Each structure stands twice: as C-alpha cells, then as structure tokens.
C-alpha cells in the first residue's frame, strides 16, 4: 500500500510538472505553436511518459486551464462569497481583470478556447458551458446582494446584468489581444461597474 | 484582349463560386471540420483548381470573411454614415446583431478567428486589427454625433464608450455560441443602448 501511495504521489508530481511546463509553453508561444516535444523536454519526461499522462495536446490544455482557474481562485477569490458580499466580489473581479493585463499568453489561450469550445463536439464544450453558468450565477448573486443593500444606482435593471458584465470582460480581451494600446481592460470594467454601483470600488 | 478579359471574368466567377461553397461549408460545419476536398466537390472544381485560387484553407477563410463583411455592409450598412446620423447607425447595428442570431456558423467563424488572429504572426492579424479600428471609429462617430444632438443621457461618458459597446457585442457572442438559451444578443444590446441613448431605437 505504501508503494502504491508512493507511486500515485510520484505520478501526481510528474503530472504537476508537466502541467507547469505546458502552462509556460502555452502562455509564451500560444497553444498552436507550443510543441509536445518541447514541453516533454522542459520537464524532463520522455515523449512516451508525456503521452501516458496526456494523450493529446488538447487534454494537456484542459489541465492547464483547470490549473489556471485554480490559481486565479486561490489568488483572487479565496473566501469570496458573492451572495454574502457582492461589493467584495466585484472588487476581486476587477483585480483579476487587471492582473489579466499582465498575462497575455494565458488570456489568449482562454479567449481562443472559449470560442472554439462553442462547438458542442469540442472536448472542452461542457467545461466551458459550465464555467459560464457559474460565472453568471456568481455575478447574479453579487448584483442581487448589492441590490438588497441599496447599493445599485436607481437606473440599473438587474435582470441580465450578469451576462452584460461577463460579455464586457470577454469582449475587451478580444480588442486588447489584437492591440494592447487600444483599450485598458481594468479601467473600462471599473468605469462600467461605477455606473452600476453607487460606491466606488477600491 | 477579349480572350484575356474573358479569362479574367471566368476566373472571377470560378473564384466567387468557390467562396460561396466555402461560406456554406464553414458556416455549416465550422472551419476546422470543413474539408477542402468537399468544398472543391461542392462547386465542381478539381482539388488542383481550388489550390490555384486558394493555396490554403486559411486564404479561403480570409476570402469568406471579406465576402461576409461585404454582404453585411450591403444588407445593413449601405448608405450609413455614423458621423452624420448616429441614431440610424445604431439602429442598423442592432439589426445586424439580431440577424447574427440566425447565422450561428458564421458568427462562430468570426469569433474563433478574431481571437486566433490576435497572434501578430497570424495571416489575418492586420485585417482584424484594422477591422476593429474601423468599428471603433464608426461607433465613436455615432456617439459623438448623438452627443452633439443632445440625444445621449446625462449620465453617459462618451470617452471609451465605443470599445465598451463592441466588447459587449463580441462577448455576448461567446456566451450565445456556448449556449444559445443563455442570452438574447439583440435584446441585451438594445437594452444597453437604451441606457445610453434617450430615444428608443426602432
């Protein structure tokens, strides 16, 4: 049993090393230009060893995106509860978007994959659909909580606001990725939220 | 000379046939699943004949997107001048977005390509960057004209509004492509523009 546990632990570490190397490769060169051979070399695994853990570049990509979500959650959303403190949640969201402006490679990955995954047969389709459902739920909870506290401006209609704000974040990325000077993503989001919420976000 | 002209005209027709077949194939199956062999067969050209006009699927895609822009311009924006009538321009924009909700394949193509093209080495990068510059200019002109006519609500800050509205349109497509029931793109855009412009859009 100890051996078996040791085996699992070693496999998990190896897997984590591969994901970390792929994260760097995808973020640096983009998904298309990154090569499985280079990723294997970067973490000292054979091509067969890599294939054992990740049979395709797509499965590796899914693991990278899950890892990025985990890191972002830990960094920006640990302990957040939009249904209990919507203001705090929005402040965290703005900080996460501001941080994105320093993460071009990974933002690009997410942008490309979230559009490619719209194909119902894409391996990441269900993951992305669920991801957006969760995002909409969190933002709906946040705006609902702010509404109950009387912190939304009088002109604001809450229904559908969650879809609009998520769309704004995604759409700003498209313009920013095409031309970084064209738009300041954090500033734009902050401005729009300032039209919605009475109190300025930190 | 007549022969030469005839030759050009025939080549142009053949080219247009190929683009039309590719348009249907890409819009129906998506860019990745569409095959050059099927496209050639659909318009009665040999594989070599297709390669003569379009050496790669990417060059064919660029032609399809240009054709779609041409069709959309003719259908929704013929005679429009955002700097002379911003209200008319926004009304046309809403109609174009409403029409998009019937064009899943082509909307998906644009969404995937506009994110892929963020890579400066992508063959469509310059085209897409210029496309967004043009879109921002048109919307800036439209909002500027509405502002001069006193048709914007008092709370509206015009600076950067063009980036926000384009981002909203792009971002709504991401959610709609992933789950068509999740959002009504036309309704959401109309709602947001109704918060910006005093007079309801037709």
What whole-number distance in Å separates Cα of residue A100 and Cα of residue A124?
A: 21
Where do runs of H (alpha helix) occur along chain B? 2-33, 36-42, 47-53, 57-72, 86-100, 104-116, 125-148, 161-178, 185-196
Q: How many CB atoms lie under 10 A from the CB of residue A9?
A: 10
Interchain pair B112, A117: CB under 8 A: no
The shortest CB-CB distance from A174 to any of B114, B119, B182 is to: B114
The β-bridge partners of A197 are A152
The sign one gets for the Cα dihedral A9, A13, A16, A22 is negative
Instruction: Give φ, ψ of B29 to 5 degrees.
Output: -100, -10
Share of chain A above pLDDT 90, in %: 65
Terminal alpha carbon distance of chain A: 51
Instruction: Give φ, ψ of A120 to 5 degrees.
Output: -60, -20
Stronger pLDDT, A112 or A16, i.e. the higher one: A16
The shortest CB-CB distance from B175 to any of A163, A174, A179 is to: A163
Enumerate chain B positions whose Cβ falls within 8 A of a Cβ in A.
30, 32, 108, 111-112, 114-119, 125, 128-129, 132-133, 136, 155, 157, 160, 163-164, 166-172, 174-175, 177-179, 182-183, 187-188, 191-192, 195
Residue of A nearest to B180 (CA): A118
- Tens digits of residue pLDDT in B63-78: 888 888 888 899 999 9
The shortest CB-CB distance from A166 to any of B125, B171, B192 is to: B171
Helix axes A125-148, A161-178, angle to 10 degrees: 120
CB B31 within 8 A of CB B112: yes
- Tens digits of residue pLDDT in B75-121: 999 999 999 999 999 999 999 999 999 988 889 888 988 888 888 88
Q: How many CB atoms lie under 10 A from the CB of residue A81?
A: 14
Structure tokens at B192: 């947001």
Interchain pair A160, B117: CB under 8 A: no
What number of CA atoms fall less than 13 Å from residue A188's CA on the CB side?
A: 29
What whole-number distance in Å separates Cα of residue B189 and Cα of residue A115?
A: 20
The shortest CB-CB distance from B115 to any of A115, A155, A192 is to: A115
ipTM: 0.88
Band (A3; pLDDT cuts 50, 70, 90): very low
Please report the domains of chain B, with CATH numbers, ordered by start residue.
Answer: 1-63 (1.10.10.60), 79-202 (1.10.357.10)
> Testing the interface with A: which of B120, B160, B179 to mutate, by most A Cβ within 10 A?
B179
Interchain pair B172, A177: CB under 8 A: no
CA distances for A77 relative to A137, A191, B151, angstroms:
15, 21, 40
- Tens digits of residue pLDDT in B169-193: 999 999 999 999 999 999 999 999 9
């Amino acid at each position: 049993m100890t051996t078996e546990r040791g085996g699992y632990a070693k496999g998990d570490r190896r897997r984590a090393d591969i994901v970390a190397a792929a994260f760097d490769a995808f973020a640096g060169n983009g998904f298309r230009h990154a090569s499985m051979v280079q990723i294997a070399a970067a973490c000292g695994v054979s091509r067969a060893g890599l294939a054992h853990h990740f049979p395709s570049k797509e499965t590796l990509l899914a693991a990278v995106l899950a890892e990025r979500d985990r890191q972002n959650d830990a960094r920006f959303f640990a302990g957040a509860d939009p249904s209990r403190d919507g203001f705090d949640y929005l402040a965290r969201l703005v900080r996460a978007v501001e941080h994105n402006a320093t993460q071009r490679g990974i933002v690009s990955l997410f942008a490309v994959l979230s559009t490619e995954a719209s194909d119902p047969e894409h391996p990441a389709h269900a993951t992305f659909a669920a991801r957006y459902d969760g995002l909409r739920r969190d933002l709906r909870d946040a705006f609902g909580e702010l509404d109950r506290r009387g912190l939304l401006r009088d002109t604001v209609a809450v229904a559908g606001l969650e879809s609009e704000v998520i769309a704004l974040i995604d759409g700003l990325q498209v313009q920013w990725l095409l031309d970084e000077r064209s738009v300041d993503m954090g500033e734009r989001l902050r401005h729009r939220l300032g039209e919605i919420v009475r109190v300025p976000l930190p």
